[in-house]
C-alpha cells in the first residue's frame, strides 16, 4: 500500500474511532427529545406591556416622592400606556425651576413637555425597546431559576428570536405538568403595603369616606376571606398605599414552615438594607394593619404587634405543596411581566418509548432495503457503498453525541433521510463511472473521471439541502430543529463517506495492480 492510500486509511480510521469514542456508551451520550422521553413543551409570550406600565407607574410614584422630599407637593398623576407617558398636575405654588431640576437629575430617560399645570413625561426613543428587551431577559432568567430549583434534568429554556418576546421551554421527564406550569406562570410579585382602610365587604363601603374614589396615593386590592377549615367565604376589599414598604426583590431567602397550629406558612428573610427599612416602618406603626400582597391579591393583613426587622412569615391557608411552590418562586424572584401560554404539548413516557421502537424499526428496515438494492444493482461496488453507508451512520451518531444534540422523532426521520442521501451520492458516482466505461475508458480512468465529475453535482445538491436545513433550524421550534440538526450533520457525513471513503476503498482494492481489467459495477 503506497503512502497516498495509507494516509487516507489512517485518516478514515481516526475519524471513525473519534466518532465511536464520543458515542460510547450510546445510552448515556445520546439525549432523547420530549417526543421520545416524554415531558412538557411550552411556548410562552412575555406581556412586555406590563413591564412598560410598571416602569411608568414606578416613575410616576418616584416623581411624587422625590418632589415631596424637596418640598414640592404635586397633584395626582395619570399614566397613558398607549402614549408611553405619564402626566402630573403641578399646582401654581410649586417652584417650576426646582421641579425642572428634579426632572433633569432623576428622569433623564424621559422627554418632559410643559403645558400649563400639566407636565408630561414621555419615554425617549429606544427606552421602551430597552425595557421590553430587559423584561424578556429577566423573565428568561427567572424561569431558569425556578426550573433549576424544581429539579428538572437537562431542561431547554431559550428565547425565540433575537428581540422576540417568546420563550421556548422543554422539560423532559416531568410527571406533573400542571404544577410546573403554575410555578412558571406565577408572577410572584410580593409587596408589603400600608393599609389605609379595610377590610370591607365591597368597594362602595370601603370608599365611603373618600367620595367613592381612592385617593391619588392609594389603590384598592382584594383578598379572599376564609373560614377556620380554609374554605372560601367571599372577597374582602382593602385600600392600601400605592408605594410598597418592601417588595419580594428585597428577600434574601424563603422556605416553607409551620405555625403553632400546624398550618403551612412561608418564612422569609430580608437583605440588610430592607431589614432596616422594614424595622423602621413596623416600629413606628405598631397596632396598625399591614397588607401582604402577592400578584395583586391580599394574602393576609395582620396587625403589627412588634417591631419586625430581618424576617417574617406569610400566612394564607396554604397546603404543603402550595407553600413549597410559593417559597420556590419567591426565592427565584418575581417575573417582570405576566406571561401567556401560546403552545403546549405533553408527551407521556409510554408514547415516547413506542416512538423510539417504531422509529428504530423504520430506520433499520430502510437501511436493509437500501443496502440490498445497492448489492443487487451495483454488485461489488454496491458493497463499497454499503460500507460507506455504515461509516456515515457512525459519524452521524458520533457527531450528535459530541455536540450534545437532542434526538427527536423528526430527528430519526432525518437519520432515515440521511441514509437515502448517502447512497444517492454513490449512485451519481457509480452511474458516471458506468458512462465512462461505456465510452471505452480504462477502469482507473473511469473511476477518476466519475468521482471528479460527479463531485460538483453532489456538492450542489447537498449545499442547497444544507441551506434549507439552516433555515429550519433558525426559524423552527422543538422537533423541527431536531430534524434540521440531524439533517445538517448527515449532509457533511454523507459527502465525506461517499466521496472520500468510497474512493479510498477503490484505491485499496486496486492497489498493487498495474492494470485493472474489470470493475464489478
pLDDT digits (tens, 9 = 90+) for 509-519: 777 666 666 67
For residue 17, the model assigns a pLDDT of 92
| Residue 445: pLDDT band with limits 50, 70, 90 | confident
- Joined grid coordinates for residue 44: 410562552
Averaged pLDDT, 179-183? 77
The verdict on residue 170 lying in a domain is no
Q: Which residue, 332, 345, 319, 420, is CA-closest to 144?
A: 332
Where is average pLDDT lowest: 209-213, 235-239, 401-405, 445-449? 401-405
Q: Are residues 412 and 312 in the same domain?
A: no
Domain of 257, in residue numbers: 186-345
Q: Are residues 310 and 438 in the same domain?
A: no
Averaged pLDDT, 400-408? 78
Q: Are residues 484 and 358 in the same domain?
A: yes
Averaged pLDDT, 157-169? 83
d(CA 41, CA 324) in angstroms, rounded, equals: 24
Averaged pLDDT, 122-144? 87
pTM of the shown model: 0.57
The verdict on residue 358 lying in a domain is yes
The verdict on residue 194 lying in a domain is yes
The verdict on residue 171 lying in a domain is no
d(CA 353, CA 361) in angstroms, rounded, equals: 12
Averaged pLDDT, 496-513? 82
Provide CB contacts within 8 A for 124, sequence distance 6+. Answer: 109, 110, 111
| Residue 276: pLDDT band with limits 50, 70, 90 | confident
Q: Which residue, 230, 219, 17, 158, is CA-closest to 474?
A: 158
pLDDT at 228 over 60: no
Q: Are residues 286 and 391 in the same domain?
A: no
Q: Are residues 391 and 463 in the same domain?
A: yes
Domain end position, chosen among 298, 314, 345:
345
Domain end position, chosen among 88, 109, 127:
127
The CATH number of residue 118's host domain is 3.30.1240
Q: Which of the listed ranges 151-165, 220-234, 424-438, 479-493 does the model predict with the highest average pLDDT? A: 424-438
The verdict on residue 463 lying in a domain is yes
The verdict on residue 8 lying in a domain is yes
| Residue 275: pLDDT band with limits 50, 70, 90 | confident
pLDDT at 192 over 90: no
For residue 122, the model assigns a pLDDT of 92
The CATH number of residue 267's host domain is 3.30.1360.200
The verdict on residue 469 lying in a domain is yes
For residue 215, the model assigns a pLDDT of 87
For residue 226, the model assigns a pLDDT of 61
Q: How many residues does the chain have?
A: 521
Write down the mean pLDDT value for the chain: 82
254-272 pLDDT, tens digit per residue, is 888 887 778 888 888 888 8
SS3 120: strand
For residue 42, the model assigns a pLDDT of 84
Averaged pLDDT, 325-338? 75
Domain end position, chosen among 310, 345, 380:
345
| Residue 231: pLDDT band with limits 50, 70, 90 | low
Q: Are residues 58 and 109 in the same domain?
A: yes
Sheet bearing 118-123, strands edge to edge: 77-80, 85-89, 118-123, 110-115
d(CA 76, CA 217) in angstroms, rounded, equals: 8
Q: Are residues 313 and 191 in the same domain?
A: yes
- Joined grid coordinates for residue 332: 427565584
Please give the share of the chain, as a percent, with pLDDT higher than 70: 92
Sign of dihedral through CA atoms 77, 78, 80, 81? positive
For residue 408, the model assigns a pLDDT of 75
Q: Considering its fold, how many domains does the chain have in total?
A: 3
The verdict on residue 356 lying in a domain is yes
| Residue 121: pLDDT band with limits 50, 70, 90 | very high
- 20 touches 398 (CB < 8 A): yes
Sheet bearing 39-46, strands edge to edge: 156-160, 166-172, 39-46, 339-347
The CATH number of residue 504's host domain is 1.20.1640.10
Averaged pLDDT, 482-506? 85
For helices 502-510 and 349-403, the axis angle rounded to 10 degrees is 60
Amino acid at each position: 500500500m503506497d503512502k497516498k492510500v495509507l494516509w487516507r486509511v489512517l485518516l478514515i480510521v481516526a475519524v471513525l474511532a473519534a466518532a465511536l469514542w464520543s458515542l460510547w456508551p450510546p445510552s448515556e451520550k445520546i439525549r432523547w427529545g420530549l417526543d421520545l422521553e416524554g415531558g412538557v413543551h411550552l411556548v410562552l409570550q412575555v406581556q412586555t406591556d406590563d413591564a412598560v406600565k410598571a416602569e411608568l407607574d414606578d416613575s410616576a410614584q418616584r416623581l411624587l416622592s422625590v418632589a415631596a422630599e424637596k418640598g414640592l407637593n404635586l397633584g395626582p398623576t395619570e399614566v397613558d400606556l398607549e402614549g408611553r407617558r405619564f402626566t402630573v398636575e403641578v399646582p401654581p405654588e410649586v417652584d417650576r425651576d426646582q421641579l425642572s431640576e428634579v426632572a433633569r437629575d432623576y428622569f433623564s430617560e424621559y422627554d418632559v413637555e410643559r403645558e400649563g399645570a400639566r407636565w408630561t413625561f414621555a419615554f425617549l426613543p429606544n427606552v421602551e425597546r430597552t425595557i421590553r428587551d430587559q423584561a424578556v431577559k429577566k423573565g428568561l432568567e427567572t424561569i431558569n431559576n425556578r426550573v433549576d430549583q424544581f429539579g428538572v434534568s437537562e431542561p431547554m429554556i431559550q428565547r425565540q428570536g433575537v428581540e422576540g418576546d417568546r420563550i421556548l421551554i422543554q422539560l423532559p421527564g416531568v410527571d406533573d405538568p400542571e404544577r410546573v406550569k403554575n410555578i412558571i406562570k406565577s408572577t410572584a410579585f410580593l409587596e408589603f403595603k400600608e393599609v389605609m382602610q379595610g377590610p370591607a365587604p365591597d368597594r362602595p363601603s370601603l370608599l365611603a369616606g373618600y367620595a367613592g374614589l381612592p385617593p391619588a396615593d392609594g389603590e384598592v386590592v382584594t383578598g379572599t376571606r376564609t373560614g377556620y377549615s380554609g374554605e372560601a367565604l367571599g372577597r374582602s376589599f382593602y385600600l392600601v398605599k400605592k408605594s410598597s414598604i418592601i417588595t419580594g426583590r428585597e428577600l434574601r431567602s424563603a422556605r416553607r414552615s409551620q405555625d403553632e397550629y400546624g398550618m403551612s406558612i412561608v418564612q422569609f428573610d430580608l437583605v440588610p438594607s430592607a431589614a432596616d427599612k422594614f424595622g423602621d416602618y413596623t416600629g413606628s406603626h405598631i397596632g396598625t394593619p399591614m397588607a401582604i400582597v402577592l400578584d395583586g391579591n391580599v394574602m393576609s393583613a395582620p396587625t403589627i404587634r412588634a417591631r419586625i426587622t430581618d424576617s417574617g412569615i406569610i400566612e394564607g391557608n396554604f397546603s404543603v405543596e402550595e407553600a413549597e411552590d410559593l417559597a420556590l418562586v419567591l426565592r427565584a424572584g418575581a417575573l417582570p411581566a405576566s406571561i401567556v401560554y401560546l403552545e403546549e404539548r405533553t408527551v407521556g413516557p409510554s408514547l415516547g418509548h413506542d416512538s423510539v421502537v417504531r422509529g428504530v424499526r423504520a430506520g433499520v428496515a430502510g437501511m436493509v432495503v437500501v443496502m440490498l438494492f445497492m448489492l443487487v444493482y451495483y454488485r461489488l461496488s454496491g458493497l463499497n457503498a454499503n460500507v460507506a453507508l455504515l461509516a456515515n451512520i457512525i459519524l452521524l451518531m458520533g457527531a450528535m453525541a459530541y455536540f450534545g444534540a437532542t434526538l427527536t422523532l423528526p430527528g430519526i426521520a432525518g437519520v432515515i433521510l440521511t441514509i437515502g442521501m448517502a447512497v444517492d451520492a454513490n449512485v451519481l458516482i457509480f452511474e458516471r463511472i458506468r458512462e465512462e466505461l461505456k465510452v471505452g475508458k480504462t477502469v482507473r480512468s473511469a473511476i477518476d473521471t466519475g468521482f471528479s465529475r460527479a463531485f460538483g453535482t453532489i456538492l450542489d445538491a447537498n449545499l442547497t439541502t444544507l441551506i434549507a436545513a439552516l433555515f429550519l433550524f433558525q426559524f423552527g421550534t422543538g422537533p423541527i430543529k431536531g430534524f434540521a440538526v440531524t439533517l445538517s450533520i448527515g449532509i457533511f457525513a454523507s459527502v465525506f463517506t461517499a466521496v472520500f471513503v468510497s474512493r479510498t476503498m477503490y484505491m485499496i482494492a486496486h492497489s498493487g495492480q498495474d492494470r485493472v481489467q474489470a470493475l464489478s459495477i
